[in-house]
Amino acid sequence: MLSTTTVTTSLSSLSALAKAGSEVAQNYFKYHRWAHLIALILALLMLGLKKYDLLVYICAVIALIAEILAWGCRYLEEHYHHLSRELNGRAILQDSFGKDRDSWELLQQFGDIQALTQRAMQLDQNYYQDGGYFTSKHPPGTVRFLDNLQESAFWSSFLYRHAAHRTLWLIGSVGGGMIMTVFAIIPFIAGGDVSILPKLFSVLIIFWLADELTTAIAWWEAAHHSREVNRRLDGMRELPVVSAEDLLAVFSDYAVATAAAPPIPTHLYSTYRSSLIELWEQQRVKYNP
């Protein structure tokens, strides 16, 4: 079993394995989002079920379980996201310096390695082109590392920014719908004294808003730091000699910034991939005429 998995892993690029690992984190990210939303919906339902004590009790228990599952999924999401970012960093280093690092122990932490490597092979078939995921034409060394790091930061800045925008749009649409439900629809249907509803709703929605706003801010901060990395690398290109120490310092800052943000959804990568390839090619030609 070990030898079979090792062979399968060797057929997949490290970049594809990082993307496959990121998809594992994305799944748990979606689960935790849905669990929070289910708990919020159940809480709103309970507001309109004053006369059905048993049903309210059942909804409360399910909502509590959903919240526990949400935070459990959040923990797993962050765990697998950190692993995938570490794999991505190794992929940058491997392509930049032409040294194949053994990532077997890191891959083992994903659990089902066979499924991970099979997904990575699919990603390679879809996205691997022109010799790899990076477009630098320089031979292995410091200059190629600068190219690869800046390319990664360029993509991350764009995708994190769009992820933040979409989350803010989600907060606005869902939050607006919830407010309309509590302040207009439920009072109209229920009748009587519903003055307690806004107070309860304010407490309930604050938990959902806090989670979603934290996500949006994390993506926005990652986009900002990625742009900053891009700017710093631009300045390094003007220097006659770029030291490995300076590059590694920027690489470290970039790794920390992206590890702190939730994983970028695969559908965003697929949606904007063609545009980003074209935009990066225009920037790459400016650096390497």
Tens of pLDDT, residue by residue over 128-150, are 766 668 888 889 888 899 999 99
Which residue segment(s) compose the domain that 131 sits in?
2-287
Predicted confidence (pLDDT) per residue in 211-249, tens digit: 888 899 999 999 999 999 999 998 898 888 888 888 889
Instruction: For residues 26 and 139, give the distance between their C-alpha atoms in angstroms, rounded to a whole number.
Output: 34
Q: What number of other Cβ atoms are within 10 A of residue 145's Cβ?
A: 22
Confidence at residue 1, expressed as pLDDT on a 0 to 100 scale:
33
The DSSP bridge partners found for residue 129 are 132
Confidence band, pLDDT 50/70/90 cuts, at residue 189: low
Contact yes or no for 280/155 (Cβ under 8 A): yes
What are 78-88's pLDDT values in tens digits? Answer: 999 999 999 99
Tokens 């708990």, located at residue: 39
For the CA atoms of 101, 88, 260, 212, the dihedral, rounded to the nearest 10 degrees, stands at -150
pLDDT cut 90: percent of the chain above it: 26
Joined together, the tokens standing for residue 127 give 């996205």
Model pTM above 0.85: no
Give the whole-angstrom CA distance, residue 240 versus residue 2: 48
Number of structural domains in the chain: 1
CA distance 31 to 37: 10
Q: Assess contact for 46 and 53: CB atoms under 8 A.
A: no
Asked if residue 85 lies in contact with residue 255, where contact means CB atoms within 8 angstroms, the answer is yes
